[in-house]
Amino acid sequence: MSTFKAPKGTYDLLPPDSAQFLAVREAIAAPLRNSGYGYIETPGFENVELFARGVGESTDIVTKEMYVFETKGGDRLALRPETTAPVLRAVLEANLHKAGNLPVKVWYSGSQYRYERPQKGRYRHFSQVGAEAIGAEDPALDAELIILADQSYRALGLQNFRILLNSLGDKECRPVYRAALQDFLRGLDLDEETLRRAEINPLRVLDDKRPEVQKQLTDAPLLRDYLCDACKTYHEEVRELITAAGVVFEDDPKLVRGLDYYTRTTFEFVHDGLGSQSAVGGGGRYDGLSEMIGGPSLPSVGWALGVDRTVLALEAEGIELDIPSATSVFAVPLGEEARRVLFSKVTELRKNGVAADFSYGGKGLKAAMKAANRSGARYALVLGERDLAEGVVQLKDMESGEQTAIGVNEIVAELESRLG
């Protein structure tokens, strides 16, 4: 056993459990690839100011949860707590928005890092798959992303999740609501830190999960009552488009999300089987983020879905994914000459696209067949001295137990035929 352990709040993703995580990532990514989204990857750390400006200086992410460090050259960097701001930074830096083909549609998969209080479903290192559509203000884009996320979860077999939907207004109508909300919050019995937050961004107080705060917010003014005509029309079109696609959602007038850059459409995917950490993903429109980080006006929309929490949602519903075995053929050599011959055949099988593994370390037949069983292989190849003399290999069907002698030179073609 090692002297060292994984840092608090993190985990190691190991086989066979890792296969489920990969399957979840693939299920989320597949609809995106089929809808014109290209893969993007950004560094695991960025300039601190990128998140301070974009995510918001009053958010818990920036004030409490970011891993910040200074390089030997004096640069202040932060491990990535979210990926929307880095993706937009990368698109601007590469001038993809100037290529004349807007929106720029990209998806990503990677780790995020937040110094949070660890508990089930909340880690300091977690994995997300996300998508961003950058450079177009169109309700159809908002609807497209919500529909694609819904498709991802349906493809995994999930049923007991809900989609919460709201509009946060825009730069025209939100300031009026902001002032009304601040007036309301000043009359409540709130601690100094919450009152300070209310002066910087009062919408963040609505996202406070503490029962003593939520109890006082029952009669808080609702943003939907302050939306301008343009925002009302935009939001109604998003609702109509996702309804027409058969996607069921719930209007949640108090949904604000935890990041400052959201405008208009905002949504969250929640699963009631996960307890307090019920949010499995979410996102929304962020029309002003580009200007916040020094770019031109680029209205955009996106989401991120948590891989870790999606796996927990599958467990909560008792769903076992049908994950193919990583190995189709397992070779068991008995003796040095058999080892040389079978290793050559395994190499040939792999070159031909057949997933094959090998019994390493000179195991005896019993131990090697146990390893073959553990690998989940469909077939085992067993080669001993008598088989070598006769020029055959014993091909064992691991499901039926049937064993057949096949010519050494025919075994690759035979397995390709059987495995399709």
Find the mean pLDDT for residues 404-417: 93
Q: Is 177 helix (H, G, I), strand (E, B) or coil?
A: helix
Q: Check whether 114 is labelled as a binding-site residue.
A: yes
- The tally of CA atoms less than 13 A away on the side-chain side of residue 23 is 19
Cis peptide before 86 (omega within 30 of 0): no
Angle, helices 192-200/174-186, rounded to nearest 10 degrees? 160
Is the confidence at residue 82, as pLDDT, over 80?
Answer: yes
The predicted structure's pLDDT at residue 141: 98
Per-residue tokens: 310: 């999606």
Where do runs of H (alpha helix) occur along 215-360? 229-244, 289-292, 307-316, 336-351
**pLDDT range class, residue 160, cuts 50, 70, 90:** very high
Residue 240 CB partners (closer than 8 Å, separation 6+): none
The predicted structure's pLDDT at residue 204: 78
What is d(CA 214, CA 221) in angstroms, rounded to the nearest whole number? 13
Least confident of 34-48, 69-83, 212-226, 383-397: 212-226
| Domain 17-173+227-316 shares a fold with domain 329-419 | no
| Environment class of 23 (CB within 10 Å of its CB; exposed 0-12, middle 13-18, buried 19+) | middle
When comparing pLDDT for 174 and 60, which is higher? 174
Contact 295, 94 (CB under 8 A): no
Find the mean pLDDT for residues 210-217: 88
Q: Residue 13 gets which letter from DSSP?
A: -
Instruction: From residue 250, give the alpha-carbon distance in Å to each of 166, 253, 375.
Output: 9, 10, 45
Q: Check whether 262 is labelled as a binding-site residue.
A: yes
What is d(CA 288, CA 310) in angstroms, rounded to the nearest whole number? 30
H/E segment holding residue 197: helix 192-200
What is d(CA 266, CA 283) in angstroms, rounded to the nearest whole number? 6
Is the confidence at residue 202, as pLDDT, over 90?
Answer: no
Which pLDDT tens digit goes with each residue over 330-370?
Answer: 999 999 999 999 999 999 999 999 999 999 998 899 999 99
Residues of the chain above pLDDT 90, percent: 71
Where do runs of H (alpha helix) occur along 43-131? 48-54, 60, 84-93
The predicted structure's pLDDT at residue 40: 97
329-419 CATH, one of 3.40.50.800, 3.30.1330.40, 3.10.440.10, 1.10.3720.10: 3.40.50.800
Is the confidence at residue 63, as pLDDT, over 90?
Answer: no
What is d(CA 106, CA 102) in angstroms, rounded to the nearest whole number? 11
Find the mean pLDDT for residues 163-188: 90
The predicted structure's pLDDT at residue 131: 98
Q: Check whether 263 is labelled as a binding-site residue.
A: no
The residue ranges of every structural domain in the chain are 17-173+227-316, 329-419
Per-residue tokens: 405: 């002698």
The predicted structure's pLDDT at residue 258: 60
Residues of the chain above pLDDT 70, percent: 98
> What are the φ/ψ torsions at residue 322 (nearest 5 degrees)?
-85, 90
Strands (E), 142-198: 161-167
Identify the CA nearest to 208 among candidates 408, 344, 196.
196
Q: Find where tokens 């910087």 sit.
A: 200
Per-residue tokens: 280: 């499995």
**pLDDT range class, residue 259, cuts 50, 70, 90:** low
Find the mean pLDDT for residues 153-163: 95
Residue 196 CB partners (closer than 8 Å, separation 6+): none
Output the average pLDDT for the chain.
Answer: 91
The predicted structure's pLDDT at residue 58: 59
Q: What's the CATH number for 17-173+227-316? A: 3.30.930.10
User: Could you tell me which residues are beta bridge partners of residue 174?
Assistant: none
Find the mean pLDDT for residues 139-143: 98
Q: Residue 156 gets which letter from DSSP?
A: T
Is the confidence at residue 178, as pLDDT, over 70?
Answer: yes
Is the confidence at residue 57, as pLDDT, over 70?
Answer: no
Q: Check whether 403 is labelled as a binding-site residue.
A: no
The single-letter code of the amino acid at 94 is: A
Q: Is 361 helix (H, G, I), strand (E, B) or coil?
A: coil
Is the confidence at residue 121, as pLDDT, over 90?
Answer: no
The predicted structure's pLDDT at residue 117: 86
The predicted structure's pLDDT at residue 116: 86
Q: Check whether 128 is labelled as a binding-site residue.
A: yes
Which pLDDT tens digit goes with each residue over 285-309?
Answer: 999 899 999 999 999 999 999 999 9
Q: Check whether 10 is labelled as a binding-site residue.
A: no
The predicted structure's pLDDT at residue 26: 95
